[in-house]
Structure 1
Amino acid sequence: MAVDRALETKYRIAETAMALFLEQGYESVTVEAVADASRVSRRTVFRHFDGKDELAFPDHSARLDLLSRNLVAPSGGRTAVDVVIAATEAVLLDFLSRPELVLRRYRLTRLVPELRRREVLEHERYVAMTRAYLRDHLPADSPPFLPMALAALIDAMHRSALGDFARSDGTTDAFAELKDGMEWIHRTLAADPATGSPLLLAVLPDTAAVRQSLSALRAEAKDLL
């Protein structure tokens, strides 16, 4: 089909561009060089991408559409949180369908600040969609901070699983890690606030030592909840 061929062309251009960026440096590679290496015209590159900084993100628009479709689908009696969790799981599976793209982009965004900033902006669009859904579908008497807090928490589980996958060069089971995180959210939300302990939220640096400590803490917390 023509649509499939166009999509494969888009991914081929993106993969070629990222390979060139890693080999020659982002600033040194021109759109013309990407077009030549991809064996397409410059016009074809710009038919698929608005600019050079989009070349590392061929999948984000389609993935936002995937998230949107999952959020607007009939809930089937599920809670708003369960709908967002299921949508987030679908998004992660879509990421993992092209693991080499995930790994190559991870390496690239750690080397090129411009692409890292673009990644953060793209990511915020996901969070904004889930936050808006929760704001519109949580019970009317929910605290006003809850949509933002839950969207951030669910997103943190997703980013942790995908980040661990990328840092391990694709050796971790990202989906299993995400499922564990979502189960922790379920247990936390099900706890009786009158008898349960208060939650402690913290912002920590993303270092190997912190990740190791958090892994140990998560194992301990799993037994407590």
Structure 2
Amino acid sequence: MPQPADARRRTARTSSAPTTSDAPESAAGSRAAAQRLKMRRELAAAAMELFATKGYEATTVDEIAAAAGVARRTFFRHFRSKEEAIFPDHDDTLVRAEAVLNAAPAHEHPLDTVCRGIKEVMKMYAASPAVSVERYRLTREVPTLREREIASVARYERLFTRYLLGHFDERDHHDGNDDPLLAEVAASAVVTAHNHVLRRWLRAGGRGDVETQLDHAFAIVRETFGSNIGAGRAGAEQAPADGQPRSGDGVLVAVARTDAPLPEVMRTIEEALRRR
């Protein structure tokens, strides 16, 4: 039996409602995220300017909020403290780095994937060289900010270590198996290589071809550790070149100068592994 015209119109409106509302909601979410990041960056810029002119200790949250043209409560909706305000992009960058890992093609070597992931961090710094250089100066002068930066770096390192560990068969994580050790050392090496290049770039005032320098550093890491890390969770195991099983106590200690060139740092780690 045919429906009345007004009933058909109501049915049409009801059936089409989900598809017409999804897009605006998605767009609204994207706009909200963009506005949130914009406000975080504005607050960070205000904080850095005040830190540079008044000093970190003398600057208050109220002053940062006023300089950004917002209320104190708005500041605390975005940051928990004034030292956190100087690092507005780390949370979003960590999400992007994790997205790189999650979307990695099956054929890609896991160490190459990790190197691509940490490039998201370098992109964050390179997007605003002047801001990054000033932030580097402040973190060197203020211990609290330095501690905050170290904590941020540790989050990336944990992310990459978990990813590399995921490319080993967990059933083989037993005494005498060096896979977990290699995963942690390799993840640390990638982060160390990145930070070495980043510090050199920042000390040069944010000038230079940082992309080429980073690729060179990663090539050294890949050459040092790449052949020892499996390219799949259940991939075939690689036998040692001498045909002898490896053993170890699961702990590696390597000592190098903080200002040592990256190749020297990599050689120190490699030699320590060989002596185990």
Give the structure-1-normalised TM-score.
Answer: 0.83
Aligned position for 2:167? 137
Residue 68 (str. 1) matches residue 121 (str. 2): no
Identity of aligned residues (%): 31
Question: Given residue 123 of structure 1, which amino acid in structure 2 is its aligned partner?
Answer: V
SS in 2 for 1:108: helix
1:215 deviates by 7.1
Partner of 1:152: 188
Identify the residue that residue 121 of structure 2 maps to in structure 1: 91
Determine the structure 2 residue equivalent to 1:33: 63
Aligned to 1:21: 51
Q: CA deviation at 1:190?
A: 5.8
Which residue identity is paired with 2:196?
A: S
Structure 2 alignment gaps of length 5 or more: 1-30, 229-239, 243-252, 266-276
Q: TM-score, normalization: structure 2?
A: 0.69
Alignment check: 8 A CA contact 1:63 1:94 kept: yes
Aligned counterparts, 1:186-201, within 5 A: 186-189=222-225, 194=241
**Which consecutive unaligned segments of at least 5 residues does structure 1 have?**
219-225
Q: Distance in 2 between matches of 1:216 and 1:80?
A: 21
| 8 A contact 1:161–1:175 mirrored in 2 | no
**Offset at residue 127 of structure 1 (A):** 0.3
**Contact 1:16 1:38 (8 Å CA) reproduced:** yes
SS in 1 for 2:179: coil
135-144 or 66-75: bigger deviation: 135-144
- Identify which of 210, 217, 238 aligns with 1:181: 217
1:108-127 Cα shifts (integer Å, max 9, x gaps)? 10111111011111110110
Decide which structure has the larger Cα Rg and report it.
Answer: 2
Aligned to 1:223: none
Q: How many residue pairs end up in the alignment?
A: 208
The AA in structure 1 aligned to 2:105 is: S
Residue identity matched to 2:183: P
Superposition RMSD in Å: 2.4
